[in-house]
Amino acid sequence: MKAIKRQELFGYWSVPRSLRYILGMRRRNSWICEITGFHYKYKYSRAFLRYDIDFTDSNSTGSRGIFAIYTLETEKVYEIKSQVSWKGILQYFAIVTDDGYIEEISKEEVDEWLKNRPDLTYSIPPGEE
């Protein structure tokens, strides 16, 4: 089963691309990544998901109403960082249920899920190979 997740990209398109780079606006405040294993430095290895952009509800300046559309699948764990207002950000782990709903899970549940995976990836520190 798959689920669709929409996340608003606050203010991102209202600033020209060249000016975004100069002002240091390269990072997005909203993203979704798949947790692929453990990482020696960052706790989890992540694969950031690509998204489609929906301009349907955008205002004239592009500061609001532009959405990133992600497709999530069952049998995977995701970390979601979602900007919910100009200053409010939510960050959490989630799975897609068999019914197609996105359900929040705890960090302990992520660790348990990863430990039970046979295809788990581990990131080993340099020099310890």
Decide: 37 and 121 in contact? Cβ < 8 Å: yes
Q: What pLDDT, on a 0 to 100 scale, did the predictor assign at position 55?
A: 86
- Burial class from Cβ neighbours inside 10 Å (0-12, 13-18, 19+) for residue 4 reads exposed
One digit per residue, the tens of pLDDT, for the chain of length 129 reads 899 999 988 876 655 666 655 555 545 678 999 999 988 888 999 999 999 988 888 887 777 888 999 999 999 999 999 988 888 889 999 999 999 999 999 999 999 998 888 776 666 666 665
β-bridge mates for residue 69, sequence order: 6, 52
Give the pLDDT of residue 69.
Answer: 94
Write down the pLDDT at residue 23.
56
pTM of the model as a whole? 0.80
**What is the model's pLDDT at position 62?**
73
Q: What is the pLDDT of residue 126?
A: 65
Which residues touch 80 (CB under 8 Å, ≥6 apart)?
Answer: 5, 7, 31, 32, 90, 91, 92, 93, 94
